[in-house]
């Protein structure tokens, strides 16, 4: 590994910040591997995505398994996406999400701090757990979170998991057994009943993982930006379009996934799209570091928090519905303030950017 790749691997956000001003919007990481974020290159890449390969992530494949949807390719991938699409349609789950959000907010202590990202992670995992299994099982989800946290719960753990014993499978047989039992006994129309039985473990783990980490971070970042913007919380109570613009602007400035999945050409050239850098490009956005929900829409290839091409996130609408529902309910029922909003360096969990665990929310009941 050369110096550039080492910095990219060990200090992802620091490295991305250091190349932010590269006008070409691309940087060579090593021979035949490029990091790209120029909007024209991104738009072309996503247009030709079907012709490219999608190699497994070195960090995630030992956890999610080799048969995860995240790196299935070709016809298998297309068929799997076709099965998944109707099961992830957001409007099927509005009532379920409303109920779970109301319950989680009612459980919040009034006036006492709770870790913001920890709370959103627990709630979004409960929601995707119900969607996948059809029933609530907090014990199983707690065991799943613990297993994931041991591997990706901090930057140090992510790096240790990735580089100390690279490629070693990190399944937990006991947890897998519990997940498979739950998935096999799921009542239709729960999602697990529609998954291919031969890859069930890898697909269940992938959906639980992809379906909550990013949504939890996006929700927490949205609450963070609302807290940092005087007067915004009150405006959002009556302006739904401003709420959607606020969520979009939070996804721009604090994208939960700093990178989209690697793409590889037939001759082995690897391209890593950087969502983080595309969203901060000065030639694309005026004052890119300023949070401004009234911005005009970005050009094609300039905004892609959910990735793009044939791998674009199938949970996008579901995620946006969750974020909208959680933020609206929080603002309606509670007066929110954050305890450490100025020291908010993102925490890396895998390639996901979450607010640090020290960022706490105080949610006082509205009278
Ligand atoms: C704010 C929340 C979310 C963000 C920012 C996000 C972001 C992403 C990104 C960047 C990718 C990679 C796309 C690419 O390589 O071009 C992806 C893939 C994926 N996401 Fe999401 N995601 C979110 C929520 C969800 C939810 C709720 C689900 C529900 C299960 C989900 C399921 C998936 C799956 C299965 C893939 C793999 C798709 C494939 O490779 O074909 N995501 N997501």
Kindly report, residue by residue over 135-148, the tens digit of the pLDDT: 999 999 999 999 99
Residues 6 or more apart in contact with residue 181 via CB below 8 angstroms = none
Q: What is the mean pLDDT of residues 208-212?
A: 95
pLDDT at residue number 366: 82
Q: Are 323 and 184 in contact (CB under 8 A)?
A: no
Residue 134 φ/ψ region, left for φ over 0, alpha for ψ in the -120 to 50 degree band, beta for the rest: left
Give CA torsion, residues 139, 144, 145, 147, to 10 deg.
130
Q: What is the mean pLDDT of residues 59-88?
A: 92
* Domain 3-365 belongs in CATH node 1.10.630.10: yes
pLDDT tier at 58, thresholds 50, 70, 90: confident
- Spell out the domain ranges in the chain: 3-365
| Tens digits of residue pLDDT in 292-312 | 999 998 989 999 999 999 999
| Six-digit token string for 153 | 């719960």
67 versus 10: the higher-pLDDT residue is: 67
Q: Is 241 helix (H, G, I), strand (E, B) or coil?
A: helix
**Protein residue whose Cα sits closest to atom 37 of ligand 1:** 70
pLDDT at residue number 345: 81
| Nearest residue to 157 (alpha-carbon basis) of 19, 1, 354, 293 | 354
pLDDT of residue 286 exceeding 60, the answer is yes
pLDDT of residue 343 exceeding 70, the answer is no
Question: Across all residues in the chain, what is the average pLDDT?
Answer: 93
Q: Are 164 and 151 in contact (CB under 8 A)?
A: no
Q: What is the mean pLDDT of residues 13-39?
A: 96
pLDDT at residue number 196: 86
Distance 71 CA to ligand 1 centre (A): 12
Residue that the structure tokens 């709630």 belong to? 123
pLDDT tier at 166, thresholds 50, 70, 90: confident
CA distance 279 to 37: 9
pLDDT tier at 342, thresholds 50, 70, 90: low
Q: Are 235 and 328 in contact (CB under 8 A)?
A: no
Is the CB of residue 307 below 6 angstroms from any atom belonging to ligand 1? yes
Is the CB of residue 359 below 6 angstroms from any atom belonging to ligand 1? no
CA distance 326 to 304: 22
- Percent of residues, the chain, with pLDDT higher than 90: 79
pLDDT of residue 230 exceeding 60, the answer is yes
pLDDT at residue number 160: 81
Atom of ligand 1 nearest to the CA of 304: 10
Q: How far is CA 346 from the centre of its chain?
A: 13
Is the CB of residue 346 below 6 angstroms from any atom belonging to ligand 1? no
Q: Are 170 and 112 in contact (CB under 8 A)?
A: no
**Protein residue whose Cα sits closest to atom 40 of ligand 1:** 70
Is the CB of residue 261 below 6 angstroms from any atom belonging to ligand 1? yes
Is the CB of residue 215 below 6 angstroms from any atom belonging to ligand 1? yes
pLDDT of residue 341 exceeding 70, the answer is no
Least reliable range by pLDDT among 12-21, 168-177, 182-191: 182-191
Q: What is the mean pLDDT of residues 174-203?
A: 89
pLDDT at residue number 158: 82
pLDDT at residue number 351: 66
pLDDT tier at 367, thresholds 50, 70, 90: low
Distance 190 CA to ligand 1 centre (A): 19
pLDDT of residue 131 exceeding 70, the answer is yes
Sheet containing strand 26-30, strands side by side: 26-30, 33-36, 270-273, 263-264
pLDDT at residue number 348: 81
Atom of ligand 1 nearest to the CA of 259: 10
DSSP state of 23: T
pLDDT at residue number 80: 93
- Percent of residues, the chain, with pLDDT higher than 70: 97
Atom of ligand 1 nearest to the CA of 207: 30
Is the CB of residue 273 below 6 angstroms from any atom belonging to ligand 1? no
Beta pairing partners, 273: 36
Is the CB of residue 305 below 6 angstroms from any atom belonging to ligand 1? yes
| Six-digit token string for 266 | 């037939």
Is the CB of residue 318 below 6 angstroms from any atom belonging to ligand 1? yes
pLDDT of residue 191 exceeding 60, the answer is yes
CA distance 255 to 259: 9
């Amino acid at each position: 590994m050369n110096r550039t790749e080492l910095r990219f691997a060990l200090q992802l956000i620091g490295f991305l910040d250091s190349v932010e001003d590269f006008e070409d919007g691309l940087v060579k990481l090593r021979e035949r591997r490029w990091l790209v974020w120029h909007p024209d290159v991104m738009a072309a890449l996503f247009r030709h995505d079907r012709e490219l390969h999608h190699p497994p992530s070195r960090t995630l494949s030992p956890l999610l398994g080799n048969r995860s949807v995240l790196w299935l390719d070709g016809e298998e991938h297309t068929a799997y996406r076709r099965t998944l699409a109707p099961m992830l349609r957001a409007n099927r789950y509005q009532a379920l999400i409303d109920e779970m959000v109301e319950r989680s907010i009612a459980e919040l202590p009034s006036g006492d701090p709770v870790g913001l990202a920890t709370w959103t992670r627990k709630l979004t995992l409960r929601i995707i757990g119900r969607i996948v299994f059809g029933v609530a099982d907090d014990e199983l989800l707690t065991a799943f979170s613990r297993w994931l946290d041991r591997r990706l719960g901090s930057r140090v753990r992510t790096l240790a998991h990735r580089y100390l014993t690279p490629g070693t499978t990190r399944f937990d047989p006991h947890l897998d057994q519990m997940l498979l039992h739950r998935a096999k006994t799921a009542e239709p129309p729960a999602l697990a009943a529609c998954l291919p039985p031969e890859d069930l473990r890898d697909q269940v783990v992938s959906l639980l993982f992809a379906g909550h980490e990013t949504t939890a971070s996006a929700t927490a970042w949205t609450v963070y930006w609302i807290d940092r913007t005087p007067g915004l919380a009150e405006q959002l109570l009556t302006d739904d379009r401003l709420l959607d613009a606020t969520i979009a602007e939070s996804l721009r400035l604090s994208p939960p996934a700093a990178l989209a999945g690697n793409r590889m050409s037939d001759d082995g050239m690897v391209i890593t799209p950087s969502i983080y850098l595309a969203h901060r490009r000065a030639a694309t956005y005026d004052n890119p570091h300023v949070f401004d929900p009234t911005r005009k829409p970005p050009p094609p290839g300039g905004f892609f928090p959910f990735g793009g091409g044939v791998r674009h996130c199938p949970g996008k609408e579901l995620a946006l519905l969750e974020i909208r529902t959680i933020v609206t309910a929080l603002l309606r029922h509670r007066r929110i303030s954050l305890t450490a909003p100025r020291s908010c360096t993102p925490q890396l969990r895998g390639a996901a950017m979450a607010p640090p665990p020290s960022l706490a929310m105080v949610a006082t009941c509205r009278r």
